[in-house]
Amino acid sequence: MSRLQARLLLGAVAVVLIGYPLIFWGWYFGAADRVTAKVTACQQGPHVCPGEGTWTMEDGTPGAGAIDGTTERTEIGGTVRVRATRSWALVEGPFSTGPAQFATGLPVFDALAIGFVLYARQRGRQQPAP
């Protein structure tokens, strides 16, 4: 792998590792409305039962669709606080759904990776040349 290819690959990885949390949390706090959704059904899967439901957006328009973060058939008929668009919703909380967990965990991973790289570079400079 040439140096240019390695730098391009590193740049692409950095865009994902840094960009995804920024985009996700920007959407979560900026574009998505904080509303209460009523769970109306679930799609029975092999291990979980992801919910579907209805909600009313902050501007009064109706919303309906998948609710990521609901997993139990017992939640049908209940309400849950979500961050929603007109056709999709996430249960509130930084660890309540897969996308939120990924966006929350990436900055921790980023910090550890940057620390490791800085440590390795410093250690490499301290090694005497043979």
CATH code assigned at 75: 2.40.50
Q: Are residues 74 and 110 in the same domain?
A: no
Cβ–Cβ < 8 Å for 55, 82: yes
The percent of residues above 90 in pLDDT, for the chain, comes to 26
Check pLDDT > 70 for residue 130: no
pTM: predicted TM-score of the whole model, two decimal places: 0.69
Report pLDDT digits (tens) over 109-120. Answer: 888 888 887 888
Mean pLDDT of 51-68: 94
C-alpha distances (whole Å) from 9 to each of 6, 13, 105, 115 are 5, 6, 21, 19
Task: Flag whether 28 is in a domain.
Answer: no
Q: Cα-flanking dihedrals φ and ψ of residue 70, to 5°?
A: -95, 135
Q: Are residues 119 and 68 in the same domain?
A: no
Q: Are residues 63 and 79 in the same domain?
A: yes
Q: Are residues 63 and 108 in the same domain?
A: no
Task: Flag whether 26 is in a domain.
Answer: no
Check pLDDT > 90 for residue 12: no
The percent of residues above 70 in pLDDT, for the chain, comes to 93
Paired residues of 62 in beta bridges: 56
- The number of folded domains in the chain is 2
Task: Flag whether 1 is in a domain.
Answer: no
Task: Flag whether 72 is in a domain.
Answer: yes
| Segments forming the whole domain that contains residue 109 | 99-130
